[in-house]
């Protein structure tokens, strides 16, 4: 009798697993795995425990990186040469912080509900903080922020459902003069673009789930990472899809941050998992 009960429980569990597998969306398992990387990792920095969930970063200078992690209202200054955190700058309460951009002496931090924090003169002893509401809300899940100095704005990327359409993922401009988020996307990722032909998923909204955005200072191209299903999308300065790089999960467990040196050196940050969070210097072939 006991053996029958055990067998019935086992069959029930297997049936439940089968139902979950065939009814839910698992983009990780459906992503094409048999590909040769079109990039190389040139250098790696393992992060200390304080930066286990690094979610955004930008360069202070050639060797110091400003970084945030997605739970604390703190900007961390990390030195790539000494491999140490030099300073912690408090700017707000605990929250889901997902993007960081430096504009001259000011730092801007993005929260996932679309709120942008301006940390005026962020390296001063007591920086002033101003908060800006936008039309992006928690259901849209903002996950990406960078400075577009040429157009005097910030770029904000939407990860989940775009406020305008289910067919795109918008990248919106936050005007640094008016401190308003413009209603029309500066760039729109077409989720039906043929460039995603090797991305296999049942849910169109998971074709591209931006986790960060930045602009290559040498080419003007727009770089966008997907942290859930590791990939890197490059748009031309005009917004046309140019190149899609699939990223190996063993190297890029969860790519969440993008940063460029002024000379074009390219860096990606990854949140930690079984290994520490890290920052990688990447060379694209």
38 in Cβ contact with 284 (< 8 Å): yes
State how far the Cα of 156 lies from the Cα of 169, in Å rounded to an integer: 11
- Return the structure tokens found at 134: 């936008």
* Residues 6+ positions from 271 with CB-CB distance below 8 Å: 52, 53, 54, 55, 70, 227, 253, 254, 256, 277
Task: Give, for all 285 residues of the chain, the pLDDT tens digit.
Answer: 544 544 444 445 444 444 343 333 334 434 455 678 999 999 999 999 999 889 999 999 999 999 999 899 999 999 999 999 999 999 999 999 999 999 999 999 999 999 999 999 999 999 999 999 999 999 999 999 999 999 999 999 999 999 999 999 999 999 999 999 999 999 999 999 999 998 988 899 999 999 999 999 999 999 999 999 999 999 999 999 999 999 999 999 999 999 999 999 999 999 888 889 999 999 998
CA distances from 7 to 4, 13, 19 (A): 5, 10, 18
Domain count, the chain: 1
State how far the Cα of 234 lies from the Cα of 240, in Å rounded to an integer: 9
Give the pLDDT confidence score for residue 81 in this predicted structure: 97
Note down the domain range covering 131. Answer: 2-284
Q: What is the CATH number of the domain that holds 197?
A: 2.120.10
State how far the Cα of 86 lies from the Cα of 78, in Å rounded to an integer: 6
Give the pLDDT confidence score for residue 184 in this predicted structure: 97
* Residues 6+ positions from 236 with CB-CB distance below 8 Å: 221, 222, 242
State how far the Cα of 139 lies from the Cα of 74, in Å rounded to an integer: 24
CA distances from 137 to 101, 133, 188 (A): 20, 9, 18
- SS3 annotation, 185-225: CCEEEECCCHHHCCCCCCCHHHCCCEEEEEECCCCCCEEEE
CA distances from 147 to 53, 157, 158, 219 (A): 22, 12, 16, 15
């Amino acid at each position: 009798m006991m053996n029958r009960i055990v067998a019935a429980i086992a069959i029930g569990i297997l049936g439940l697993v089968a139902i979950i597998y065939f009814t839910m969306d698992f983009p990780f398992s459906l992503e094409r795995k048999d590909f040769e990387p079109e990039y190389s990792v040139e250098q790696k920095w393992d992060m200390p425990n304080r930066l286990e969930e690094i979610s955004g970063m930008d360069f202070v200078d050639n060797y110091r990186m400003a970084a945030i992690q997605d739970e604390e209202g703190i900007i961390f200054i990390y030195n790539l040469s000494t491999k140490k955190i030099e300073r912690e700058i408090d700017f707000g309460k605990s929250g889901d912080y997902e993007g960081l951009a430096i504009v001259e002496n000011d730092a801007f931090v993005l929260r996932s509900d679309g709120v942008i924090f301006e940390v005026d003169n962020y390296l001063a002893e007591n920086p002033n903080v101003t908060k800006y509401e936008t039309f992006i809300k928690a259901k849209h899940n903002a996950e990406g922020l960078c400075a577009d100095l040429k157009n005097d704005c910030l770029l904000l990327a939407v990860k989940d459902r775009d406020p305008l359409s289910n067919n795109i993922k918008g990248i919106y401009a936050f005007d640094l003069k008016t401190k308003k988020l413009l209603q029309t996307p500066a760039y729109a990722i077409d989720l039906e673009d043929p460039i995603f032909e090797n991305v296999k998923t049942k849910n169109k909204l998971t074709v591209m789930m931006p986790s960060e955005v930045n602009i290559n200072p040498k080419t003007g191209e727009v770089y966008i990472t997907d942290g859930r299903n590791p990939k890197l999308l490059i748009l031309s300065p005009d917004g046309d899809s140019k190149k899609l790089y699939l990223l190996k999960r063993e190297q890029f467990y969860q790519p969440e941050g993008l940063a460029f040196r002024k000379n074009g050196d390219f860096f990606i940050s990854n949140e930690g998992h079984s290994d520490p969070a890290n920052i990688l210097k990447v060379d694209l072939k």
